[in-house]
């Protein structure tokens, strides 16, 4: 591979792009720093001009992923329009779409073992993404009677866990996971069951 990233003064992003490709092909634990350097067309020593090591490089991949993820979630949420329920369900679909379209970023974010507090920039990006789901949960929970209303953070975490489970089990092509239902159908029905269990009456019902 030609050293285009290096010659154009963008070695840092060239290494990130190489790492994304390696993660998509081999998983976040299946390659070395030397592999990333070779794919980017530089020596391993050159990596240390921009990153402290392999974990620092993966943390940057994860940070960029969370920034994209937060943007997609914000777009899907659309300020809670046209209704709180529609906006909430749209964030779930955005979660699935992100996992499919960004097969290098998603594992770096959730499967690499990197702490979301590895550095302040990563922590901020992760919190921004989670904040979209939290706002969606807060808006929707206003339609639940106060006595049966879980904390919005718990509500958001339940849906995050449900979304993540559907991605891991059914949306990434793992052997033995093909079935009669699409991941979108599984997630939508799961959210519906969860909301009915809370006694939620959609505002547009």
pLDDT for 200 equals 65
Let me know whether 86 and 186 are in one domain.
yes
With respect to residue 202, please indicate whether it lies within any of the assigned structural domains: no
The dihedral sign for the CA sequence 146, 151, 155, 158: negative
Specify whether 154 is located in the same domain as 69.
yes
CA-wise closest residue to 109 among 126, 95, 84, 121: 126
What confidence tier does 24 reach under pLDDT thresholds 50, 70, 90? very high
Whether residue 59 sits in one domain with residue 43: no
Residues 1 and 85 in one domain: no
In a domain, 205, yes or no: no
Q: Give the pLDDT mean for 184-191.
A: 88
Other C-beta atoms within 10 Å of 165: how many?
14
* 127 and 86 co-located in one domain: yes
Stated pTM of the model: 0.86
Residues 68 and 141 in one domain: yes
pLDDT in tens, 113-159: 999 988 999 999 999 999 999 999 888 888 777 777 888 889 889 98
Whole-angstrom CA distances from 35 to 6, 20, 48, 56, 115 are 16, 12, 14, 15, 22
**Model pLDDT for residues 89-114, shown as the tens digit of each residue:** 889 889 999 999 999 999 999 999 99
Residues 73 and 166 in one domain: yes
Residues 41 and 105 grouped into a single domain: no
Please determine, for residue 54, whether its predicted confidence score (pLDDT) is greater than 90.
yes
The CATH number of residue 47's host domain is 1.10.10
Cα–Cα dist 149/171, whole Å: 30
Residue 128 sits in a domain whose CATH number is: 1.10.357.10
Contact between residue 94 and residue 76 where contact means Cβ atoms under 8 Å apart = yes
Domain that holds residue 111: 55-197
- In the chain, the number of structural domains is 2
Asked if residue 93 and residue 37 are part of one domain, the reply reads no
Instruction: Indicate the SS3 state at residue 112.
Output: coil
Mean pLDDT (the chain) is 86
Q: Tell whether 203 is covered by a domain.
A: no
pLDDT at 53: 92
Contact present, 96 and 183 (Cβ < 8 Å)? yes
Is there a domain that residue 204 lies in? no
> CA torsion sign, 16 to 17 to 22 to 24?
positive
Average pLDDT rounded to a whole number, residues 5-26 = 84
Indicate if 29 and 95 belong to the same structural domain.
no
Top pLDDT among 14 and 2 is at 14
CB 23 within 8 A of CB 108: yes
């Amino acid at each position: 591979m030609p050293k285009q990233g290096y010659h154009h003064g963008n070695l840092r992003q060239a290494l990130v792009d190489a790492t994304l490709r390696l993660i998509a092909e081999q998983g976040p634990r299946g390659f070395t720093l030397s592999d990333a350097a070779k794919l980017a067309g530089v020596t391993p020593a050159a990596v240390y001009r921009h990153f402290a090591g392999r974990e620092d490089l993966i943390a940057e991949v994860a940070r960029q992923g969370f920034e994209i993820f937060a943007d997609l979630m914000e777009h899907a949420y659309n300020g809670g329009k046209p209704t709180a329920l529609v906006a909430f369900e749209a964030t779930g679909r955005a979660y699935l779409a992100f996992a499919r379209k960004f097969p290098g970023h998603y594992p770096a974010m959730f499967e690499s073992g990197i702490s979301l507090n590895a550095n302040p920039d990563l922590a901020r990006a992760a919190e921004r993404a989670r904040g979209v789901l939290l706002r969606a949960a807060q808006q929707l929970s206003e339609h639940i009677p106060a006595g049966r209303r879980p904390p919005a953070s718990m509500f958001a975490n339940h849906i995050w866990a449900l979304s993540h489970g559907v991605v891991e089990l059914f949306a990434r092509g793992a052997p033995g996971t093909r079935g009669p239902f699409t991941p979108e159908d599984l997630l939508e029905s799961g959210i519906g069951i969860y909301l009915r269990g809370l006694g939620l009456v959609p505002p547009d019902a």
